[in-house]
């Protein structure tokens, strides 16, 4: 009776019982094997690539099984909340090809029968369960001040004992309801703690879908359930929300693994059926030979916005993350070059158990493949969308020259081995700038990149002759090359590598140097797609003009 009195004093407005909510949120009717998963970010405004990684695993497993993937906003730490973060999360996930079946759809809007999907709007639900725990003697108010708690920590450090609020150290645990009531009535501040029933001598056997079989001692910490601001801690909210929302699989970062004993106890004391758990590895970075967590402060690539800014297509990032999730993705992709990645079946048990290494070079390789398979029109559309936001000059140039730009993006695309020029859109300018006079003529002599075997003077000598003699109407690459070769031989260049090696002094160089001269005159670069194609796209007049101006450098 006195526990009930205490509960009523703590929660005077709570009239419902847990039963009300358990009945309100009916068990989901799902087909066999369907998984209900969720993405549960805090609205801090920072989208970490690890969030996309976690969301992707959740989304794939729900979608593959014909289940439900929902968005729950974990905003119980209201100090960290940032305006616009919920909308940004929804938009970001959408850009990465992930849409939610249920949950928040905007700052104040949601869809689905298991809401509210925002924790700050669920206080009454948490309080209902908390009140019930108080009545059952499984939760109690704790009046310890911050000073008392830090004194406790010091004492435990000195005694070299496990830190925390538990057992003999839990001062408020054994207050009688009357004593607690007297403190509340005297205006003392308090929080609500779990009265743990666990014993660290007893071990819990557990099966994690990624980590496999694990075991750990039972929880005995009287963790905080409801904080001073009336909102729950992550632990308490997790147990109640995932139970009432019918989550079948809690797939979350491995940083939560150490809290699992608490969650196991909470599910038990609340009388809930426990979901399955999968703890996904943290994304790590190789930093001078040692592995560390990808850091929001130190690593630009930790922020999702980075990928957009430098211009990795979202699908490249997703394919890269799938590759981390299941290393068999790479082989699958090779065997199925044209299939949509959604066709790839993700398996939790094939996931690496320990820290996943983030490798930007690998991401770029994957992205080059992805872009090389896009049609020129698609490359164009993607590029101008990116450039509009991040490179105004290129946006203007490319859109003003749409036809040529599409031809440029189509170079060597149609064949069986399409060129793999770009990994991200910010690399495009440097690789195609020479098609545009506005950029090409801005270059100074020191920016010209000559092949190792060629000097600027030698290249000019070639161009001086070539520009008057070459066949501007060659109708194929072969015809163009034969013409170039003939001019080169006349100029004293050698057409045969063996012969050249045997008598290098007899020649000015190889025919490849003649080609290199033409390439450099037209592009200022030693490495470009096929010169004949470049000349065809530039057109006769521009080619002539470039040769003339090259001689003036």
Instruction: Count CB atoms within 10 A of the CB of residue 163.
Output: 14
Residues 6+ apart with CB under 8 A from 7: 131, 132, 134, 135
Which residue's CB is nearer to ligand GLU, number 303 or number 404? 303
Contact string 223-252 vs ligand GLU (x = CB under 6 A): ---------------x-------------x
User: Is residue 232 exposed (0-12), middle (13-18) or buried (19+ Cβ within 10 Å)?
Assistant: buried
Q: How far is the CB of 331 from ligand GLU (least distance, A)?
A: 30
Q: Considering beta carbons, is residue 6 or 40 the nearer one to ligand GLU?
A: 40
Q: Are strands 212-217 and 290-293 parallel, antiparallel or unpaired?
A: unpaired
Choose, by CB under 6 A, the member of 10, 35, 36, 41 that binds ligand GLU: 41
Q: DSSP code of 41? A: -
Is residue 40 close enough to count as binding ligand GLU by CB under 6 A? yes
CB of 43 to ligand GLU, least distance (A): 10
Q: Is 208 in the site for ligand GLU (CB under 6 A)?
A: no
Nearest-CB residue for ligand GLU: 252
User: Which one of the spans 38-46, 412-420, 460-468, 497-505 is the region binding ligand GLU (CB under 6 A)?
Assistant: 38-46
Helix (H) or strand (E) holding 398: helix 392-400
**Smallest separation, CB 117 to ligand GLU (Å):** 13
Query: For residues 40 and 139, which CB has a smaller minimum distance to ligand GLU in the complex?
Result: 40
Place of tokens 């056997």: 205
CB of 251 to ligand GLU, least distance (A): 7
Strands 276-280, 102-104: pairing is unpaired
Choose between 101 and 401: whose C-beta lies nearer to ligand GLU: 101
| Cβ atoms of residues 89 and 41 within 8 Å | yes
What are the percentages of helix, strand and coil residues in the chain, rounded to 5? 50, 10, 35
Q: Does 279 bind ligand GLU (CB under 6 A)?
A: no
**Are 481 and 514 within 8 A, CB to CB?**
no
293 marked as binding residue: no
> What is the spatial distance between Cα 498 and Cα 501, in angstroms, rounded to a whole number?
5
Q: How far is the CB of 58 from ligand GLU (least distance, A)?
A: 8
Q: Is 196 in the site for ligand GLU (CB under 6 A)?
A: no
User: Among residues 62, 216, 226, 24, which one has the least CA distance to residue 129?
Assistant: 226
List the beta strands (DSSP E) in 219-369: 224-226, 249-253, 276-280, 283-287, 290-293, 356-358
| 122/333 with CB nearer ligand GLU | 122
**Does residue 103 interact with ligand GLU by CB under 6 A?**
no
Going from the C-alpha of 438 to that of each of 85, 124, 425, 530, 534, the distances in angstroms are 40, 64, 19, 22, 17
Contact between 424 and ligand GLU by CB under 6 A: the answer reads no
Compute the least distance from the CB of residue 80 to ligand GLU, in Å: 11
Which pair of tokens denotes residue 258? 């150490």
SS3 68: strand
Closest distance between ligand GLU and the C-beta of residue 192, in Å? 20
Rounded to the nearest whole angstrom, what is the least distance from the CB of residue 281 to ligand GLU in the complex? 14
Q: Specify the stretch interacting with ligand GLU by CB under 6 A; choose among 36-44, 208-216, 350-358, 525-533.
A: 36-44
# residues near ligand GLU by CB under 6 A: 7
Stretch binding ligand GLU (CB under 6 A), from 39-47, 268-276, 291-299, 397-405:
39-47
Q: Alpha helix (H) ranges present in 421-472?
A: 428-432, 437-440, 456-469
What is the β-pairing status of strands 139-142 and 191-194? antiparallel
Q: How far apart are CA 240 and CA 267, in angstroms?
A: 8
Stretch that binds ligand GLU, among 37-45, 102-110, 148-156, 413-421 (CB under 6 A): 37-45
Question: What are phi and psi for residue 219, nearest 5 degrees?
Answer: -75, 140
Using the rule CB under 6 A, which residue among 6, 35, 37, 42 binds ligand GLU? 42
- Closer to ligand GLU by Cβ: residue 116 or 313: 116
Tell me which of 16, 22, 34, 74 binds ligand GLU, using CB under 6 A.
74
> The tokens 């209900």 sit on which residue?
36
Shortest approach of ligand GLU to residue 299 CB, angstroms?
18
Q: Which CB sits closer to ligand GLU, 47 or 517? A: 47
CB of 41 to ligand GLU, least distance (A): 5
Which C-beta is closer to ligand GLU: that of 254 or that of 407? 254
Question: What is the maximum span of the chain, computed from C-alpha positions, in angstroms?
Answer: 110
The reply to whether 92 sits near ligand GLU by the rule CB under 6 A is no
| Site residues, ligand GLU (CB under 6 A) | 40-42, 74, 238, 252-253
Which residues fall in the annotated binding site for ATP? Answer: 296
Which residues fall in the annotated binding site? Answer: 296
């Amino acid at each position: 009776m006195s526990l009930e009195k205490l509960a009523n004093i703590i929660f005077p407005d709570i009239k419902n019982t847990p039963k009300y909510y358990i009945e309100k949120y009916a068990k989901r009717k799902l087909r066999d094997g369907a998984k209900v998963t969720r993405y549960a970010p805090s609205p801090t405004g920072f989208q970490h690539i690890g969030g996309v990684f976690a969301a992707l695993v959740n989304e794939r497993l729900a979608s593959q099984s014909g289940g439900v993937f929902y968005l729950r906003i974990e905003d119980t730490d209201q100090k960290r909340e940032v305006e616009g973060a919920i909308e940004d999360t929804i938009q970001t996930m959408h850009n990465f090809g992930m849409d939610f079946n249920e949950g928040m759809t905007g700052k104040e809007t949601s869809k689905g029968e298991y809401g509210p999907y925002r924790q700050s709007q669920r206080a009454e639900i948490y309080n209902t369960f908390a009140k019930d725990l108080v009545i059952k003697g499984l939760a109690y108010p704790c009046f310890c001040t911050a000073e008392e708690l830090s004194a406790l920590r010091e004492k435990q450090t000195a005694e070299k004992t496990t830190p925390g609020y538990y057992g003999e150290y839990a001062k408020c645990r054994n207050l009688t309801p009357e004593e607690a009531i007297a403190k509340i009535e005297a205006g003392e501040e308090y929080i609500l703690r779990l009265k743990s029933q666990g014993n660290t001598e007893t071990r819990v056997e557990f099966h994690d879908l990624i980590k496999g079989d694990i075991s750990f001692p039972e929880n005995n910490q009287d963790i905080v359930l409801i904080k001073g601001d009336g909102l729950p801690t992550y632990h308490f909210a997790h147990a109640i929300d995932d139970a009432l929302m019918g989550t079948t699989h809690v797939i979350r970062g491995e940083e939560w693994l150490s809290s699992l004993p608490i969650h196991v106890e909470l599910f038990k004391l609340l009388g809930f059926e426990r979901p399955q758990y999968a703890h996904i590895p943290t994304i790590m970075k190789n930093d001078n030979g040692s592995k560390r967590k990808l850091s929001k402060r130190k690593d630009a690539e930790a922020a999702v916005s980075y990928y957009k800014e430098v211009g990795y297509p979202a699908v490249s990032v997703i394919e890269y993350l799938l590759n981390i999730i299941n290393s068999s993705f790479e082989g699958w992709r090779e065997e199925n070059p044209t299939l949509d990645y959604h066709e790839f079946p993700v398996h939790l048990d094939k996931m690496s158990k320990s820290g996943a290494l983030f490798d930007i070079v690998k991401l770029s390789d994957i992205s080059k493949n992805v872009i090389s398979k896009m049609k020129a029109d698609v490359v164009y559309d993607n590029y101008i969308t990116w450039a509009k936001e991040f490179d105004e000059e290129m946006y203007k140039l490319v859109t003003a020259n749409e036809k040529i730009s599409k031809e440029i993006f189509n170079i060597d695309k149609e064949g069986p081995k399409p060129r793999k020029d770009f990994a991200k859109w910010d690399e495009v300018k440097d690789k195609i700038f020479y098609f545009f006079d506005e950029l090409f003529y801005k270059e100074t002599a020191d920016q010209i990149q000559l092949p190792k075997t060629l000097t600027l003077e030698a290249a000019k000598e070639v161009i001086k002759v070539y520009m008057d003699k070459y066949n501007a109407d060659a109708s194929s690459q072969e015809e163009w090359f034969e013409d170039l070769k003939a001019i080169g031989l006349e100029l004293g260049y050698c057409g045969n590598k063996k012969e050249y090696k045997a008598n290098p002094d007899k020649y000015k160089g190889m025919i490849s140097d003649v080609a290199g001269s033409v390439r450099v005159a037209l592009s200022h670069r030693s490495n470009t797609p096929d010169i004949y194609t470049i000349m065809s796209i530039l057109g006769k007049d521009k080619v002539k003009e470039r040769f003339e101006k090259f001689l003036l450098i």
